[in-house]
Structure formats: structure tokens, C-alpha cells
Amino acid sequence: MADHLVVVDFEATCEENARIYPQEIIEFPAVLVNAATGLLVSEFRTYVRPRHHPRLTAFCTKLTGIQQDQVDGGVEISEALAKHDAWLAASGADKNRLAVVTWGDWDCKTMLEFECRFKGIAKPAYFDRWVNLRVPFEAAFGPGRRNLQEAIREAGLQWIGRLHCGLDDARNTAYLLVELMRRGVAISITGSLAPALAPKKQDEIRPQPPAQPVGPNLSMWGGGAGAVPCCCYCGVTSRCGMVMAPGPMQGRCFYGCGNCTPAFGPKCPFFLWAA
């Protein structure tokens, strides 16, 4: 097992009862835990400036407590990743002996993976494998859907801080992690991202005639003989599409969720540019 466990809990742009696309991380917090002693070694947080939806919604501010001036003074996600790497090094954590811990799979499997793919950013490899703390928690306390606050109470701990503040959520997840370790619960990797298959050259992509568009700027097709045989987060074959909006990306092909329908749109945020 790892020498250190780094607990992350991202906050992202959001709107009440609506989907923001693309969703972007606005708070990047982490708590470093010594795997041998269970001590919290260090903390990290930086706010991240969203590129596509720079103005936070009133709902997002109310939910997370993050203010507009905090994201305006934040950094790009690429710089946030670099700062996180530098913090780990300064804290004495070996990235090859490190395990990421989350509550749920969303942070690593969906949010960070999608944003880095969408923006063409290379992320550290240690984010490709993680411990979903729900799994060892249910092994100790029994199956059942619980949110993080409920799990904290069930473990006999006291919630500390503000719910949906990323750093406070990461701290409470770290306290729960340490409590499970104290009880002798096995902590091991539960999720990972398989390497994406390399896309073919754009001139080899032969999509089928377009079906119903999924939005004003994007149009989706079925798989087709020339489509990349990779899967979206739903586990089904991704679908080929093309940017329709005028601009520098017009005519460029991409791969999106294979569960996309005209009525409801994509069911997951998978996105990959074709080469």
C-alpha cells in the first residue's frame, strides 16, 4: 500500500436543476495523510478560474460558499495541478508511493478526467487510480446509500466545517479515512481509468449521416466503421460527432457519450477530441 494518502474533494461550476457544460473545477483542495501513522500531514487548496463559465451562478455561490473574487483571482486548472504536484513534493510525498482517496468516484473518474480531456491538459498519473472510501466504509458498516455527512455521523465522528466547502469536505473525508484505518478496515484501490485507445487520423474517420443534433454547437452520429472503438463513462461505445458552431473548432470531430439522446442529451460527460 502507499506511504501517503491524498484526499481530494473538488467543487465545480453548477446550476440548480440544470447542467452546465462544460463543468469546470473551481476549488482544488487536498489533505495529505501518513498511511502508517494516520496523521494529517499537510493541507492544500487553490481556487481555479473557470474558462467557459467565468461568472458563478447564485446557486453555486450559495452551495459552495465560493465567492466570485476568489475564482477571479484563481489559477488555470493546469497551474492548479502543477501547484498540487509541488505541494506533494514539499510535503515529502513520493508520487510513486501515493494513493488518491475520494468519497465517490466523481472527482477522479468524471470531473478531473473530463476537464483535462476537454482542455487537452495532461494530468498526473496518480489521479488515474483512487480509493473510493464508500467501498471500505460499506465493508465496515454495511451496504446502503449514504452521503458523506451521514457516514461521518454513523462512524461516531463530528462534522467539522461547512458542507460543500471543498477543503472542509476533504478534511472530513480524511477524518473518516483515519477512523476506518483505526478500526483495521482494509484500504485499497477501488477505481481506475484504463488508458484511452489512440484515435485514428481525422481523414480516416467516416461518420454516418448526422442524426438529431444534441445542441446548437455539436452534432452527434452513431459509431460507424471508422469510429474509435473506445467506451464512454457509461461503459458503452462512444459516439462520433462534429463541432457545428462557426469558429476555430468548427468541423473538428470528437467522441462523446454513447448514451446520448436528442431528448435528454448525454448521460455522462465523456469527451475526447479526434486527432
Q: Which residues form the catalytic set?
A: 11, 164
Q: Rounded to a whole number, what is the largest CA-CA distance in the chain?
A: 59
Q: Are 6 and 101 in contact (CB under 8 A)?
A: yes
* Spatial distance between the Cα atoms of 7 and 144, rounded to a whole number of angstroms: 22
Handedness of CA 9, 15, 16, 18 (dihedral sign): negative
d(CA 124, CA 106): 17
Q: DSSP readout, 115-157?
A: HHHHHT----GGGGEEEETHHHHHHHH-S----HHHHHHHTT-
Q: Residue for cell digits 478560474? A: 49
